[in-house]
């Protein structure tokens, strides 16, 4: 076998392994296929000190396979961007929900997450019949809901929602970095990096900060 043939063989084996992995992420989609349109739901931004929480809701076509789609946390930024474009191109419908830092402070992060998810479902152009959720059951929705622990690594639909939510929120935080450059939001996305924590201690919070998250860091400055 020539080196070229070896390379082609390895490439083919890698592709087959990836297709097998993707097939393993369709267990829930297959199980609930007879129930109607299936929508994956996930959120990004429950943990940061600043910025909104964002939820994605994605309905993929039956038998859709998007190579390398996975939990957004396991992907590089470049891969997420490429997958985002492919998801937006191939999806039957995509909905995005955004709840601000002010609302997070008002109703708490869990309730804000639920609200972002309800918004995302409400913005879909078609009504789903089954919701595959990453770990939670969302109050106030009439559809059948299937909460799946670590669902973004077990369901293609949830993984797609994870990528859409992550890319959307990252782009928002990168844009907001221009308004609040001292906090380095473009690189930390609102999470507590060393540079972000140092800026908080030096300058106090900006309007993007979640006051309920940073009281112990900034003391009276955050009140």
Q: Which residues are annotated as a binding site for a divalent metal cation?
A: 42-43, 134
Which residues of 60-186 form beta strands (DSSP E)? 93-99, 130-134, 144-148
- In our burial notation (b when 16+ CB lie closer than 10 A, e otherwise), range 96-111 reads bbbbbbebbeeeebee
Which helix (H) or strand (E) segment holds residue 42: the answer is: strand 38-44
List the one residue out of 18, 17, 57 whose CA is nearest residue 157. 57
Start-end of H helices in 59-133: 77-90, 101-107, 109-122
| 131 strand-pairing partners | 39, 145
Residue positions forming the annotated binding site: 42-43, 134
């Amino acid at each position: 076998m020539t080196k070229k043939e070896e390379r082609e063989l390895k490439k083919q084996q890698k592709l087959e392994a990836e297709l097998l992995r993707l097939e393993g992420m369709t267990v829930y989609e297959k199980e609930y296929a007879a129930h109607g349109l299936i929508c994956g739901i996930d959120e990004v931004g429950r943990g940061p000190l600043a910025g909104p929480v964002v939820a994605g809701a994605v309905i993929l076509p039956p038998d859709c396979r998007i190579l390398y789609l996975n939990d957004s946390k396991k992907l590089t930024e470049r891969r997420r961007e490429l997958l985002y474009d492919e998801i937006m191109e191939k999806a039957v419908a995509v909905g995005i929900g955004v709840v601000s830092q002010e609302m997070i402070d008002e109703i708490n992060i869990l309730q804000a997450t639920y609200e972002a998810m309800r918004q995302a479902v409400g913005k879909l152009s078609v009504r789903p019949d089954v919701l595959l959720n990453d770990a939670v059951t969302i109050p106030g929705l009439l559809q059948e809901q299937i909460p799946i622990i670590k669902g973004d690594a077990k369901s293609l639909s949830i993984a797609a929602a994870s990528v859409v939510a992550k890319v959307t929120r990252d782009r928002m935080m990168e844009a907001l970095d221009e308004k609040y450059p001292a906090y380095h939001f473009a690189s930390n996305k609102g999470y507590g990096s060393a540079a972000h924590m140092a800026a908080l201690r030096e300058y106090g919070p900006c309007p993007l900060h979640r006051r309920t998250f940073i009281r112990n860091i900034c003391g009276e400055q955050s009140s």
